[in-house]
Amino acid sequence: MNLLPFTHKPLVSVAVDGIITLISVAAFTTLILLAAGAPLSAYYHIFLGAFGSWVKFGHVVKAWIPLTLCACGLLYTFKIGLWNIGIEGQMIMGAVFATAVLRLGAASENEIFYLWLSFPAGLIGGAIWAVIAGFLKTKCGVNEIFAGLGLNFVAQGFILWLIFGPWKQPGVASMSGTETFPPTLWLPQAFSINVPPVGIFLTILAICTTVFMLRYTRIGLNLKAIGNNAAASVLFGLHPDRYMLLAMIFAGGLAGLSGSIQVSAVYHRLIPSISSGYGYLALLVVMLAGFRTGIAAIVSLFFACLNVGSIQLPIVLQLDSSLSGVIQGSLVLATLGVHAWRRRQFAS
């Protein structure tokens, strides 16, 4: 099944993007008016909440990093025709594996070693969780959507058990998470915006690697061939099941890496909401980006700005911050609707 949207000439694409944006803005503006709010003021405060200071922009970058990593991972599975809904659980398990390593580092004299070891640990944790979903798909015939959703619930339950059980804070179990790691196990921050340069570097590396892998390698070509027609690809000697597992490993690894960054650079401990919903949000990012890596990174930045900027809405305008999700959802729905209409027009 090919999930890539049909594309026309550049001029038509620009016009379509404009229509999608107008539909989304109109939907958001209508909701604000229904809530007795001022649309222009809402847009202004969202912008101010994201770019009002360097510290606020730092929060945007910290949200952009895991969102982009998850989006890059999803591009592999979408390329081969898999809906990797389990990306959320893969991010959680990456955070769990990274936390396990960092807890060992807290009891060691060589904290720096364990800090850097937490990144491959998170990558492995996410990849393992993704392989389970891939195995259920390829060997047991379980739809990847149901397998992913089920594993998401298992991962969320597992993290709660760890926080309230073996890894609880001394003397008390708290929803605030595990005990905070010592500062020596925190990923170094830089600049006046308090962002981790290592996280930015890994994200840019993931973007470049994904572009190269999907566009210029045999693996990317084979993933696309299987995604277009799995039955026909078998005639050319390809093994769809193997490539599906490989795509899941790539996706889970990047999601797990984002989980390890959340633990070591953002929260400095394991908390129940460690994923912050970035896995699910990354699904919207990839669809809105038309399954293109570079565009996905830009859309991730836009969504990060909305998430961070919308925090201002309940404080200043008494509007719920979840309204930012309306923009995100309406953008994706408008995109899918317009592309479906374009396909129908082309087919007729």
| Domains in the chain, CATH or no CATH each | 10-347 (1.10.3470)
Predicted local confidence at residue 8, as pLDDT:
45
pLDDT of amino acid 5: 46
pLDDT along the chain (348 residues), means of 10: 47 63 72 70 84 90 96 97 95 97 91 95 98 95 95 96 90 80 91 86 97 95 94 91 97 98 95 92 90 92 90 76 74 73 66
Note the pLDDT of residue 194: 83
The answer to whether the beta carbons of residues 125 and 96 sit under 8 Å apart is yes
The residues, ordered by sequence, that sit 6+ positions from 317 with a Cβ below 8 Å of its Cβ are 37, 38, 41, 42, 45
Q: What does the buried/exposed string (b/e) look like for 215-227 if buried means 16 or more CB atoms within 10 Å of the residue's CB?
A: eeeebbebbbbbb
User: What six digits make up the tokens of 153?
Assistant: 């619930």
Are 151 and 132 contacting, i.e. CB atoms less than 8 angstroms apart? yes
Q: pTM for the complete prediction? A: 0.90
